[in-house]
Amino acid sequence: MKNDYIKKLKIPDKSGVYFFKRNKQILYIGKATSLRDRVKSYFGKDLIETRGPILVDMVFQASTIDFQTTDSVLEAVILEANLIKKHQPKYNTKEKSDKSFNFICITKEELPRVLILRGKELQDRVPSNFSSLHPSLEYKGGTLGKLKIERNSIFGPYTSGTQLREAVKIIRRIFPFLDEKSKNYMEFYKQINLVPDLDDRKMYLQNIINIKLFFAGKKPQIFKNLKKEMKQYAKNREFEKAGEIKRQIFALQHINDIALLKNDIQLNKNSFRIEAYDIAHMGGKNMVGVMTVVEDGEVVKSEYKKFKVKTQTNANDTGALAEIVERRLKHKEWVFPHLIVVDGGMAQIHVAEGILSAFNLNIPVVSVLKDERHKPKDIMGDKNFGVKYKKEILLANSEAHRFAIAYHKKMRNKNFLI
């Protein structure tokens, strides 16, 4: 696919969702503040640095690009999640495999609440037949504490918790609702119009219905509902309630998603998966290795991995590192990272690069060099990555060290009792 093809598409400078396709098969779905700018970004020289090897391969495989505009970035966020769930594109691998992504859940109670929950939190609390919504997650049980969540009241997955929380703030200003914190902050929430008059349960339930329709991508139906409700309140001479509905219609027609726009640009810049590796042992005994994951600046503990080192019988840290990196790369069903972090110096970098080369993978590697007190003093390897992702690199490395020590102690104690 060449730039000439992109120019012929005449992609608009509007928010929406784009599709990379191979013939009729959808390979990848993404959202954008500006469809034109986002699609162009896939054909820049820095694609592998900003997007990683998986999406480089996706662009190579794609033969056509399609798009669908939306009235707002907020609606693009919701449309992307709904389409990914529907089509399960091959290269949206994170959305298919990661239990840490977020879902909107609306509880079944007299005054329903709107919650943001991770897939991991839902795993043991939602009916098992919900797995058809998202096949990578296994659901067991049936309640969240004493609260029920029905299958048709769960929306997602959403790939960014930060962006979803911002989106929910915008929706809440249009349709006020209760959340898990409402009980403690009820008076404050009332003052800033985040919850309606709860004495009118009917009106509150209408808000909940419209929130469900919004997350289902059915905005036209919401307008029909609101106009019908407004006429009925006016007919009954309930002018204050009719005025509230009028406010909601205006807010829905003029969605103020400036905060989401800023957040989307920032996420595009920093959306980056880092895997960090570390080895732990005592004089070569009970040697173990671990992998930790940081995405979008947040740890993803559900994807941490443990390895019992099998090929080393002495204190050979580089040999152990080579083993665990090789074993990890054989798992092609795991999402490949944009950057690999190792603990040590250039020797560890060369070892990791050698294994990557054997797998024909071009993933950059950096190392965290420690001082005599085992505190980070330098990031070695590609300095551009070291500066750009310093905070994330150090977080991933710190997590790897903590996780490796904990796993080693567990193995050591276990073997001591044998």
Tell which of 221, 242, 265 closes a domain: 265
> Could you tell me if 343 and 370 are in contact, meaning their C-beta atoms sit under 8 angstroms apart?
yes
- Give the pLDDT confidence of 211-243 residue by residue, as tens digits: 999 999 999 999 999 999 999 999 999 999 999
Q: What is the pLDDT of residue 136?
A: 46
- Give the pLDDT confidence of 162-171 residue by residue, as tens digits: 788 889 999 9
* pLDDT above 90 for 393: yes
Q: What is the pLDDT of residue 3?
A: 63
Residue-number span of the structural domain to which 341 is assigned: 272-417
- Same domain as 296, residue 399: yes
For residues 38-65, average pLDDT? 78
For residues 8-14, average pLDDT? 88
Q: Is residue 124 assigned to a domain?
A: yes
| Tally of domains in the chain | 3
- Same domain as 120, residue 33: no
> Could you tell me if 65 and 19 are in contact, meaning their C-beta atoms sit under 8 angstroms apart?
yes
Taking the whole predicted model, whether its pTM rises above 0.85 is answered as no
- Same domain as 59, residue 175: no
Q: What is the pLDDT of residue 128?
A: 47
Q: Is residue 260 assigned to a domain?
A: yes
- Same domain as 291, residue 247: no
Q: Is residue 84 assigned to a domain?
A: no
Q: Is residue 399 assigned to a domain?
A: yes
* pLDDT above 90 for 20: yes
- Same domain as 326, residue 409: yes
For residues 127-138, average pLDDT? 48
* pLDDT above 70 for 82: yes
Q: What is the pLDDT of residue 362?
A: 86
Report the range out of 2-11, 17-26, 52-61, 83-92 with the highest average pLDDT. Answer: 17-26
Q: What is the CATH number of the domain that holds 280?
A: 3.30.420.340
- 156 — pLDDT class (breaks 50, 70, 90): confident
Rounded (10°) angle between helices 201-215 and 239-253: 10
Q: Is residue 38 assigned to a domain?
A: yes
- Same domain as 260, residue 139: yes
Please give the residue that has the higher pLDDT: either 248 or 9. 248
Report the range out of 89-93, 131-135, 282-286, 335-339 with the highest average pLDDT. Answer: 335-339
- Same domain as 318, residue 211: no
Tell which of 212, 244, 265 closes a domain: 265
Computed over every residue of the chain, the mean pLDDT equals 83
- Give the pLDDT confidence of 341-390 residue by residue, as tens digits: 999 999 999 999 999 999 888 899 999 998 888 888 899 998 888 888 89
- Same domain as 282, residue 205: no
Could you tell me where the DSSP H helices lie in 88-200? 93-97, 119-122, 161-174, 186-191
Q: Is residue 385 assigned to a domain?
A: yes
- Same domain as 360, residue 398: yes
SS3 per residue for the chain: CCHHHHHHHCCCCCCEEEEEEECCEEEEEEEECCHHHHHHHCCCCCHHHHCCHHHHHHHHHCCEEEEEECCCHHHHHHHHHHHHHHHCCCCCHHHHHCCCCEEEEEEECCCCEEEEEEHHHHCCCCCHHHHHHCCCCCCCCCEECCEEEEEEEEEEEECCHHHHHHHHHHHHHHCCCECCCCCCCHHHHHHCCCCCCCCCHHHHHHHHHHHHHHHCCCHHHHHHHHHHHHHHHHHCCCHHHHHHHHHHHHHHHCCCCHHHHHHHHHHHHHCCEEEEEEEEEECCEEEEEEEEEEECCEECHHHCEEEECCCCCCCCHHHHHHHHHHHHHCCCCCCCCCEEEEECCHHHHHHHHHHHHHCCCCCCEEEEEECCCCCEEEEEECHHHHHHCHHHHHHHHHHHHHHHHHHHHHHHHHHHHC
- Same domain as 105, residue 64: no
* pLDDT above 60 for 96: no
- Same domain as 280, residue 253: no
Q: What is the pLDDT of residue 249?
A: 95
Q: What is the pLDDT of residue 273?
A: 87
Tell which of 227, 242, 265 closes a domain: 265
Q: What is the pLDDT of residue 298?
A: 83
Percent of the chain at pLDDT > 90 equals: 44
- Same domain as 17, residue 124: no
Instruction: Give the range among 172-181, 231-240, 329-338 with minimum mean pLDDT.
Output: 329-338
Q: Is residue 74 assigned to a domain?
A: no
Q: Is residue 138 assigned to a domain?
A: yes
Q: What is the CATH number of the domain that holds 53?
A: 3.40.1440.10
